[in-house]
Structure 1
């Protein structure tokens, strides 16, 4: 049981770095981040991504901006 928890925590730690790398130099919407990670053969779902984005924001490692969308509500770009 401990090994599975350790694996999950290690994966989250690796994902944080991958997210920062994907966002380096370009603002992206959450679904765009997921697409970039999938293109790199990393499977990530929104339920995993959003808590990591919040953690990175709270740690001061990324910021976000709200932008108006022509197809619905404003979007949060990281």
Structure 2
């Protein structure tokens, strides 16, 4: 369904991949929620900080991340998120599927672009 304010469906696409981006960030090292939100927001993958916490809660309930509390030099202790073994396995499975998906989409986008050039080149 094409929405008037998002004709390309980028919002839905972002929602579909943001959890995998979170897991990939956590594979690098543990992070706290605001740090994840800032990174994802800077990459234009989430609209606001508030959207990350429900996702992190679901990832925790699903056993893909664990949390631990650490003291913070800037204030109260922070809850850090750490990737679990199940999270690492899920991320690897997604990477494999994403590569196949990306190649298929790239194939069609490239094919469409090539066809477009072929039909409009002066002879």
Structure 2 unmatched runs, 5+ = 4-8, 82-123
Q: Normalising by structure 2, what TM-score?
A: 0.51
Q: Is the 8 A contact 2:14 2:46 kept in 1?
A: no
Q: 1:16 maps to what in 2?
A: 19
Change (3 A) 1:62 1:44: farther
How many aligned residue pairs are there? 74
Moved over 4 A (4+): 7-10
Q: Normalising by structure 1, what TM-score?
A: 0.76
Q: 2:60 maps to what in 1?
A: 57
Between 1:55-64 and 1:20-29, the stretch displaced more is: 20-29
SS of equivalent residue, structure 2 residue 66:
coil
2:31 corresponds to 1:35: no
Q: Is the 8 A contact 1:29 1:77 kept in 2?
A: yes
Structure with larger RCO (C-alpha < 8 A, sep 6+) = 1
| Larger Cα-atom Rg | 2
